């Protein structure tokens, strides 16, 4: 079983079309606090990210925000956190969050959320970290992404074992339980396609 203390959550700086996303963000924040995880997130006071942070704090948990200077200057920083770390730019912010992490969760969000999710998945594939990565699949939000990953396996750009790098659940508590039981699997990263070896 994995020992996790700091949980990074990636999610939108918007609330999204459906109230279900907001409700899930509140539930995730409560689940993190109830399970004694410290939240590490992007430091904003807006959108789903602010909602998760507020829920953790409201339920007695601790929150570390990591925000680049230019976003803090736009007055979107959450000033009520346990700790707010300021970075020079977006890259430094991502690296600091990864450095602090014992696990990673993606909730619905936009391009930044996808970028952050795929970066930590890619690092897991390369064994640069051994932390669990999960998606909270609210109302099927990540169904298309999970299908795309399965298609990537079918087209032999990724070994099937790498599907196990990503935990997925529809409820926060179920996702946290799955991530706590995460065990990295070994997989061959590079292999020759059948069409290339058939004529050998």
pLDDT attached to residue 193: 82
Sign (positive or negative) of CA dihedral 14, 20, 26, 30: negative
Are 161 and 186 in contact by the 8 Å Cβ rule? The answer is yes
Sign (positive or negative) of CA dihedral 95, 101, 105, 109: negative
What's the farthest any 2 CA atoms get from each other in the chain? 65
Confidence of residue 48 (pLDDT cuts 50, 70, 90): very high
Alpha carbons 10 and 113: distance in angstroms, whole number: 6
pLDDT attached to residue 200: 57
pLDDT attached to residue 199: 62
**Overall average pLDDT of the 82-87 stretch:** 97
When the pLDDT of each residue in the chain is averaged and rounded to a whole number, the result is 94
**Overall average pLDDT of the 106-135 stretch:** 96
**Overall average pLDDT of the 15-30 stretch:** 98
6-197 has CATH 3.40.50.450 classification: yes
Confidence of residue 181 (pLDDT cuts 50, 70, 90): very high
**Between residues 99 and 192, the one the model is more confident about:** 99
Q: Is the pTM of this model over 0.95?
A: no
Q: What are the sequence ranges of the domains in the chain?
A: 6-197
pLDDT attached to residue 93: 97
């Amino acid at each position: 079983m994995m020992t996790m203390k700091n949980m990074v959550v990636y999610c939108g700086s918007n609330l999204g079309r459906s109230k279900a996303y907001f409700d899930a963000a509140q539930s995730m924040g409560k689940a993190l606090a109830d399970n004694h995880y410290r939240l590490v997130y992007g430091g904003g006071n807006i959108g789903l990210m602010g909602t998760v942070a507020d829920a953790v704090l409201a339920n007695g948990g601790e929150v570390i925000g990591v925000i680049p200077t230019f976003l803090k200057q736009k007055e979107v920083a959450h000033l009520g956190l346990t700790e707010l770390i300021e970075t020079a730019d977006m890259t430094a912010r991502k690296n600091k969050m990864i450095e602090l992490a014992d696990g990673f969760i993606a909730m619905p969000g936009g391009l930044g959320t996808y970028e952050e999710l795929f970066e930590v998945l890619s690092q897991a594939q390369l064994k640069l970290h051994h932390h669990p990565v999960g998606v909270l699949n609210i109302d099927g939000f990540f169904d298309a992404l999970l299908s795309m990953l399965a298609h990537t396996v079918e087209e032999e750009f990724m070994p099937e074992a790498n599907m196990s790098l990503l935990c997925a659940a529809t409820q926060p508590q179920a996702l946290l339980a799955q991530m706590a039981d995460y065990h990295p699997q070994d997989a061959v990263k590079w292999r020759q396609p059948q069409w290339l070896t058939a004529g050998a």
